[in-house]
A and B are shown apart, each in its own frame.
Chain A
Amino acid sequence: MPTESKILEENLLYIDALSLALRDEMREDPSVMLMGQDIAGHGGAFKITRDFLEEFGDRRVRNTPIAESGTVGIATGAAILGQRPVIEMQFADFVTCGFNQLVNVAAKMYWRTECSVPLVIRMPGGGGMGAGAFHSQNIESWFLHSPGLKVVAPAFSDDAYRLLRSAIKDPNPVIYFEHKFLYRRERSDLQEMQIPDRIEGEANVRRKGHHLTSVSWGWMTHRALEAAEVMEKEGVEIEVIDLPVLSPLDLSGIFKSIEKTEHAAIIHEATRTAGFGAELAARISDEAIWNLDGPIRRITYPDSPSPFHKGLEAARIPSVDVICDGWREVLA
């Protein structure tokens, strides 16, 4: 039995894990600086950087004008020359205005020039709050199709803490998706841990099962765990694999699980066509199709923007019922 490791924070809220990770990195490394809209005096739209201005000063905690492209570009230049900027996109959706700087300048910089760009873009994303078409999107696929970026989407507070610190230490640009729905809902204990100085691929089994391998990330991992409880009552054991890191991608755990379960499903909150589920299904098909005893099912948002009304939105986000139905079809 491994020795019990020390618990640093009990029941740590996801949003507090983000603040703590930022604060710990800023205390440890003076080259870490924060940039974003309304993050200084106001502490950010979600108050993640509340009181940071007082502790770290206005050089290291900088409000930016409403200029996502300019901000990503300036952070890229500063990162090349030794700073470690962390940008808070007020909402992940707004990153579109800085898209060129991310996918063409920051992402390609190392390959083109061997100059590293240690940059983190924090992306409050995802739906569930009736926030409409421009405050709810799940846009991880755009960045996964852009070599040079790492992409992280933690579902749990402890992963959120560890991966944000690792993202800041990593010498590459990291797109860090933090789910707004989880901010004040997800809690987990934060144990004393080593903080790796790189983001590596990881796939974590969050629930063991032997009938079907279900892969998800972010909020959908929580939905998958709820749905697995329902299935248990039907005598079906789902193996729930959480992917807190989407790039680099570690598929070995998924393949190993499929050897056992012979069934696979992918759940994502992002829209369906060319979503990351399509890539995962293709990889599973390439490598593990002979182990499968059924189709690879994608359970996703439909190909539509996010509606404002909560009921309209809820009809689109994979629910526990929709997930269970999807799994049942694969197992039928």
Chain B
Amino acid sequence: MLRELHAYMRLTREWDLRYEKMFKTGALSKWYSSVGNEATTVACGSAIEKGDALVSLHRDVGAILRHYVNIEELFPDIFPEKMSLVRQPLGGDSRDRLFRLACQMLGREHGFSGGHERSYHYNHMEPDHGLIHLGMISHLGSMIPVAAGAALSFQQQGLDRVSINFIGEGATSTGDFHEGLNIAAVWKLPFILVIENNHWAFSTPTSQQYACDNLASRALGYGIPGVEVDGNDPLAVLEVMQTAVKRARAGEGPTLVEAHLGRHRGHSEGDDSLNQVPSDELKGYLDNDPMDLIEARLLSSGVVSRAWLQEIKERSASLIMEVVDEAVAMPEPTPNTDRNTYAN
């Protein structure tokens, strides 16, 4: 299980490192890095299944990759024997999804929004594979009620599916956090809201964001469970999520999860917001890099060797290099103003 979580975390890390490099060379105008969020997002993606709804933000590519791709299909020679998968893959073509995701990041015609929407601001639906993914809008917190609405649709149809949504600690200050969570609680919707608390919203520390000790305790005010978890520990996050998902599927309503993470990067690459983080605090976060932690754990358990870790790192990096290069070579969208504003 740890090996599986690691493989997706590594793929996620290499994904970000590739775009960070492209940003530095000027090949990309903007990048929001999810470095440091992988343990939480991959574990959350591991807790959902076919037919569940994933509603993500800009640091959740770990959950997206975990949901979209089957690592055994990408690296059949590294994973010749079936892993004891935490969850079954959705089916469909993993590599093609990865390629289209790269096209989406680069605003290419072949991306999920045909270049009309930036990076993670897209929806991707594959009804045949039970893939339901709603992306973000820029107004943080706004997707909380929408994600709860996906859960409402499941409840109306009598399905035992769940909807999970990520937000940062900053968006807990919005009205939609309160309104969405409150309605979800009153209606016992199968909804899980995961706060990725990296303690900095752009340049604003938690001391200027909220006055309570922790955000999970807000759940008490909605009459639902609220759980704090170490967001750098994927096994701990997975356990919390599996409990929440089980509860939601049983019709018992939503759960609020607060995963504590470290801020490893600026709000976006190239802004200087990381300068606001005191250096000893930043050091604490970097010393607890979830990637380093899981690799140390794997090594100490004797499951894998250092060479194996190196191999999967290199293979992940080269696969991502390959799909990104393919995406770069894809055509830019044809200039047009006639994309339909209304559904016909």
Stretch in A59-67, A238-246, A319-327 with 4+ CB within 8 Å of B:
A59-67
Q: How many residues of A are counted as interface, with CB atoms below 8 angstroms from the partner's CB atoms?
A: 44
Residues of B127-147 at the interface with A, using a CB-CB cut-off of 8 Å, are 132, 134-135, 137, 139, 142-147
A282 lies within 8 A of chain B by Cβ: no
A221–B176 CA distance with the chains assembled, in angstroms = 38
B156:A80 contact, CB within 8 angstroms: no
Please provide the chain A residues from 70 to 125 with a CB less than 8 Å away from any CB of chain B in the complex.
70-83, 100-101, 104-105, 108-117
Q: Is B113 an interface residue (CB 8 A)?
A: yes
Q: Are A74 and B343 in contact (CB under 8 A)?
A: no
Kindly state whether residue A128 has any CB partner on chain B within 8 Å.
Answer: no
In whole angstroms, how far apart are the Cα atoms of A33 and B152 in the complex? 11
Q: Which of B135, B156, B180, B343 contacts A78 (CB 8 A)?
A: B156
Q: Are B150 and A80 in contact (CB under 8 A)?
A: yes
* A69 CB within 8 Å of chain B: yes
Question: Which residues 305-328 of B sit at the A interface, judged by CB distance below 8 A?
Answer: none
CB contacts (< 8 Å) of A64 on chain B: these are 183
> In the docked arrangement, what's the CA distance between A147 and B341, Å?
7
Q: Is B82 an interface residue (CB 8 A)?
A: no
Does A218 touch B at the CB level, under 8 Å? Answer: no
Interface string of B31-47 (1 = CB under 8 A from A): 00000000000000000
Within residues 199 to 226 of chain B, which ones have a CB less than 8 A from any CB in chain A? none
Are the CB atoms of A70 and B135 closer together than 8 Å? no
By a CB distance below 8 angstroms, the chain A residues around B149 are 73-81
Using known A-B contacts A70-B182, A72-B145, A113-B117, determine if residue A78 contacts B341 with beta carbons closer than 8 Å: no
- Most A Cβ at <10 Å: residue of B143, B154, B341: B341
* A172: interface (CB < 8 Å): yes
Nearest A residue (CB) for B161: A81
With a cutoff of 8 Å between Cβ atoms, the chain B residues found around residue A75 in the complex are: 149
CB of B269, distance to nearest CB on chain A (Å): 24
In the complex, are the beta carbons of B117 and A112 less than 8 A apart?
A: yes
Q: Are A67 and B156 touching (Cβ within 8 A)?
A: no
CA–CA, A71 and B157, complex, Å: 19
| B126: interface (CB < 8 Å) | no
**Which of B121, B143, B149, B150 has most chain A Cβ within 10 Å?**
B149
Chain A proximity of B224: nearest CB distance (Å): 14
Q: Are A100 and B139 in contact (CB under 8 A)?
A: yes
Q: How many residues of B contact A (CB 8 A)?
A: 47
Whether the Cβ atoms of A67 and B153 lie closer than 8 Å is no
Q: How far is the CA of A310 from the CA of B306 in the complex (A)?
A: 82
Residues of A within 8 A of B155 (CB): 59
Q: Is B304 an interface residue (CB 8 A)?
A: no
CA distance A71 to B148 in the complex (A): 10
Contact B150 A77 (CB under 8 A): yes
Check A172 against B342 for contact (C-beta < 8 Å). Answer: yes
Measured CB to CB, the closest approach of chain B to A194, in angstroms, equals: 19
B116 within 8 A of A: yes
* CB within 8 Å for A171 and B153 given contacts A70-B182, A113-B123: no
A144-191: which have CB < 8 Å to B?
147-148, 150, 171-172
Partner of B341, one of A69, A81, A110, A117: A110
Contact residues in B for A82 (Cβ distance below 8 Å):
153, 157
User: Of A65, A72, A77, A110, which one neighbours B343 at CB under 8 angstroms?
Assistant: A110
Contact between B148 and A74 (Cβ–Cβ < 8 Å)? yes
Q: Could you tell me if A110 and B134 are in contact, using CB atoms closer than 8 angstroms?
A: no
Q: Specify the chain B residue showing the minimal Cβ separation from A248.
A: B342
Could you list some 19 contacts between A and B, CB below 8 A?
A70-B180, A73-B144, A73-B180, A74-B145, A74-B152, A74-B180, A74-B184, A75-B149, A77-B146, A77-B149, A77-B150, A79-B149, A80-B123, A104-B137, A105-B137, A105-B146, A112-B116, A114-B123, A117-B343
Query: Measuring CB to CB, which residues of chain B are less than 8 angstroms from any residue of chain A?
Result: 53, 112-113, 116-117, 121-123, 125, 132, 134-135, 137, 139, 142-157, 163, 175-176, 178-180, 182-184, 186-187, 339-344
- Ranked 10 nearest A-B pairs via Cβ: A77-B149, A73-B145, A70-B179, A81-B153, A116-B343, A113-B123, A67-B179, A77-B146, A74-B149, A171-B343
